[in-house]
Amino acid sequence: MAMIISNEALAPQIYVMKVQGNYKGKMGQFYMLRSGMSYPLLPRPISIYDIGEHDISFLYRVVGEGTRQLSRLLSGQEINLEGPFGNGFPQVEGSLALIGGGMGTAPLLLAAKQYPHAHVYLGFAEQSFGVEAFKAVAASVQVKVGGSIVEQVNPARYKYMFSCGPTPMLQALALQTVGTSSRLYISTERHMACGIGACLGCTIRTRTGNRRVCKEGPVFPVEEVELDDLHGM
């Protein structure tokens, strides 16, 4: 159990929870969070948003009962968290773009901190959130609310791209990357139970067979993933 320092709304249904403690983790990894209530049963996988010396933060959207419970927790209350899990984004050298859509911006903040030279592209359907955190660490941040942020990205400019967001956004980016030498890594999402690779509940199809999002992922080179398989999640 760990103590919640703060749990505040950034926008309607969007919260940042800061938890006290000396936690490890790198860009693109996640923790399993559980409020301790008897329902829902399962912890929720949430990307690491930020890590400080004595705290860790999670940016999340209220989508169901599990995240609704998380949003009701107050500073001073306790939470169960286990992690870090997953592979995270790879360490790279060279030009880098970070492209996030909606909640998909969450796992990119640590990458922006690690690579201040990276160009950051943030797209939101209706309302932006968390942009200031990126602006504080990145030299270049482009934001689009409504429409597609992908249109502003020229993959040929970058050796590497890290992306997380809705499947149509990832598909558009993948298409745009075809024929360039840019290497695109995407962070995937799936319902999960165990978070550590045991239950096979989060498996996706890849070119090299089934892979567990929680263990071999959530980050994959885009060419490995059958993007159509990500639909319906």
- Residue 131 as a binder of other proteins (CB under 8 A): the answer is no
Out of 2, 197, 224, 227, the residue judged to bind other proteins by CB under 8 A: 197
Out of 10, 196, 224, 227, the residue judged to bind other proteins by CB under 8 A: 196
Given CA atoms 172, 148, 111, 140 in this order, what sign does their dihedral have? positive
110 sits in the region (left: phi over 0; alpha: psi -120 to 50; else beta) called alpha
The residue written with tokens 């903040």 in the block is 109
Total residues at interface with other proteins (CB under 8 A): 30
> What type of residue is 159?
K
Interacting stretch for other proteins, rule CB under 8 A, among 34-42, 92-100, 131-139, 149-157? 34-42
- Looking only at residues 62 through 81 of this chain, which bind other proteins when binding is defined by CB under 8 A? 66
Interacting stretch for other proteins, rule CB under 8 A, among 16-24, 38-46, 104-112, 136-144? 38-46
For residue 6, what are the β-bridge partners? 18
- Residue 113 as a binder of other proteins (CB under 8 A): the answer is no
- Looking only at residues 41 through 60 of this chain, which bind other proteins when binding is defined by CB under 8 A? 41-43
Rounded to whole angstroms, how far apart are CA atoms 122 and 133?
12
Q: Which is nearer to other proteins, 132 or 228 (CB)?
A: 228
Q: Which is nearer to other proteins, 45 or 155 (CB)?
A: 45
Report, in Å, the least distance between residue 39 CB and other proteins.
6
Report, in Å, the least distance between residue 203 CB and other proteins.
6
Given CA atoms 116, 114, 47, 221 in this order, what sign does their dihedral have? positive
> What type of residue is 108?
L
Given CA atoms 216, 100, 18, 51 in this order, what sign does their dihedral have? positive
- Residue 1 as a binder of other proteins (CB under 8 A): the answer is no
Rounded to whole angstroms, how far apart are CA atoms 37 and 80?
10
Q: Which distant-in-sequence residues (6+ apart) come within 8 Å of 73 by Cβ?
A: 4, 7, 17, 35, 79
Report, in Å, the least distance between residue 224 CB and other proteins.
16
- Residue 161 as a binder of other proteins (CB under 8 A): the answer is no
Residues making contact with other proteins (CB under 8 A): 32, 34, 38-43, 66, 82, 191-203, 205, 209-210, 215, 229, 232-233
